[in-house]
Structure 1
Amino acid sequence: MAHKKSGGSSRNGRDSESKRLGVKKFGGEHALAGNILVRQRGTTFHPGPQVGMGRDHTLFALVTGAVKFTKKAGGRCYVSIQPAMEAAAAE
């Protein structure tokens, strides 16, 4: 018996929606308290001083200030916030 798939059917078109992950505020940028700094899956970046981590590993600013990225021993990358008052005093 001959087999032929009926016409009009498609096997394509099922790609997932992009999740818009990545760094949202880069080093030196000004961030307000509550601003999202990094959206990630897992801990590619770790929270440093004045930075909180959400349930989905999103890093966010706890205070208003300048964003700073630092690499520490073990190759871990930390994101911290230098509060606005300290940043002004440093200049």
Structure 2
Amino acid sequence: MAHKKAGGKSRNGRDSNPQYLGVKLYDGQAVRPGNIIVRQRGEHFKAGKGVMMGRDYTLFAVVDGTVKFESLKTVKRVHVLPIPELPVPEQAN
């Protein structure tokens, strides 16, 4: 009779899920209110104009506009510059 030994159990084979951190929208990209710009642990980037910070340090847009990254000496800041409203031409009657 053919015999096959029982397979041993493995203690390996586990891994944690990735955290999906980092910049999600880059400089010059268009954003809507609520769009996530940066996911981070700690305050690596600070919130600038048109941006708010969530409980887990996530930066998100609060206005329509374009993303602008600013790097000063020791501070990195993220802004959302609002899209300028174009004047509507008046119609001649």
TM-score computed with the length of structure 2 as normaliser: 0.80
1:14 Cα offset (Å): 1.8
Greater fraction of residues in helix: 1
Write the distance in 2 (CA, Å) between the matches of 1:39 and 1:48. Answer: 15
Counterpart of 2:3 in structure 1 is none
Write the distance in 2 (CA, Å) between the matches of 1:7 and 1:43. Answer: 49
Highest Rg: 1 or 2?
Answer: 2
SS in 2 for 1:80: strand
Q: Report the AA paired with residue 46 of structure 2.
A: H
TM-score computed with the length of structure 1 as normaliser: 0.82
The alignment status of 1:84 with 2:83, answered yes or no, reads: yes
1:13 Cα offset (Å): 1.6
Q: Which runs of 5+ in 2 are unaligned?
A: 1-5, 88-93
Write the distance in 2 (CA, Å) between the matches of 1:15 and 1:76. Answer: 34
Counterpart of 1:51 in structure 2 is 51
Identity of aligned residues (%): 50
Q: Which runs of 5+ in 1 are unaligned?
A: 1-5
SS in 1 for 2:41: coil
Counterpart of 1:31 in structure 2 is 31
Runs of at least 4 residues of structure 1 off by over 4 A? none
Provide the aligned C-alpha RMSD in A.
1.9
